Amino acid sequence: MNALRDSLGGFGARLRPGAGGFFAWWGASLASWLPGSWRAVFGLARDRLLLSGGAEQLQLRLQTLDGIRDIGSVPLPASAEGDDPLPRLLAPAIADLPRWYLLPAAASLRRRVTLPAAAAERLRDVLAFEIDRQTPFAADAVYFDARVAERRGDGQIVAELVAVPKPVMDAALAALGAPAASLAGVDVAGESGVPLGVNLLPMPRRQRGADPARRWNWILAAVALLALAAGLWQILDNRRAAAAEFEKQVSARAAEARRVGQQRQQLLDMVEGSAFLERTRGGRPTMIAVIDELSRRIPDNTYLEKLSMENGQLQLIGFSSDASGLVQKLEGSKLWRSPALAGALQPDPRSGRDRFTMTAELAIAASEQAKKPGDADAQRPR
């Protein structure tokens, strides 16, 4: 099902954002109505064998379009050397399926990042730069992959970064033994045990099986060549048809040029948006710094019920015995300016303190306000 989603998703992504997910769902739904033998003939089955290691047992599960079912468990090999025992224990129809190792959810670190929709075509490359910010590991210390978790209606996507430390995954594959050399990928189990749909295994270590749809591709290619030959023969016999064919080719080239121009524009927008987000992060004070500064300035007779930082504004809600004096205590900080009480003080009979709401404007560095995304549009060459 993943391969079908990839093949249909690539076509849908060229139409408009979100179309790939619809075509993948539509194609998988149609394929689920076909018998298993028919799906195998047309290359739509894409079943895979899931391996997951326990203490001394290797759990085997089969994933198909109809779901996941348990096959059984076999003892783990005593060492990484030796022959692969799976072909001797399983039926050939199952032993020849692509093998995927399934890591437990606790072995991975998952982070969600909001990105422009144009980043979906190169999602893994884009999130490679976010590993140092989103995880406590360096990019070369983890195996990682990314997937689109949600497509929002405002032209953005919610991407999920899935990372596993290299020692954790290397130890799991080493314990797997000989079957580790025949893996097509490594996935991570979600909260419900269903694979997330990522592949953490590096490209050089992936084992690729024969494509069952290759024979049909050759047949379709031969039919296409015959149809092209017939069309060319008709063009030679009819000048009007030749002129119409030439006009159609010119239109196709123009549409391709427009598509390339749109992709270039999307790439520029993505780069400019990433630069703007970087400047925004560098110019705004961090939450840790604000909390540390507040802990130094707020007296002991005051405690906070809510602390928020949104749209350049700092908001404090809490209770204090001297709420009117908090404004003076918070003045003079380098992290915010213009602290003021918002609304009237509300006495709290339970604590004997006054409930207050205070706002302040966060101190934003000049580098953030020096350049906005609109300025880059004015300087961009036409």
Does the pLDDT of residue 17 top 70, yes or no? Answer: no
The pLDDT score that the predictor gives to residue 283 is 66
CATH 3.30.1360.100 assigned to domain 287-363? The reply is yes
Which token pair is 111? 């982070």
Q: What is the mean pLDDT of residues 310-323?
A: 86
Q: Which range among 46-55, 227-236, 249-258, 353-362 shows the weakest confidence by mean pLDDT? A: 46-55
- For 166-196, the pLDDT digits (tens) are 999 988 888 887 788 888 899 998 888 889 8
Q: What is the mean pLDDT of residues 211-222?
A: 75
With bands split at pLDDT 50, 70 and 90, how would you rate the model's confidence at 164?
A: very high
Report the share of the chain in percent with pLDDT over 90.
Answer: 9
**CATH code given to domain 47-205:** 3.30.1490.300
DSSP state of 71: E
Does the pLDDT of residue 246 top 90, yes or no? Answer: no
Q: Residue 14 is inside which H or E element, if any? A: helix 2-15
How do the domains of the chain map onto residue ranges?
47-205, 223-281, 287-363
How far apart CA 315 and CA 308 sit, in angstroms, is: 5
Q: What is the mean pLDDT of residues 143-169?
A: 90
The strand pair at 48-53 and 99-103 is best described as: parallel
- For 92-143, the pLDDT digits (tens) are 777 778 888 888 888 889 999 999 988 888 888 888 888 888 888 888 899 9
- Average pLDDT value for the chain: 78
Q: Do domains 47-205 and 287-363 have the same CATH topology?
A: no
Angle between helix 2-15 and helix 19-32 axes, rounded to 10 deg? 140
Which token pair is 7? 């093949």
How far apart CA 115 and CA 112 sit, in angstroms, is: 10
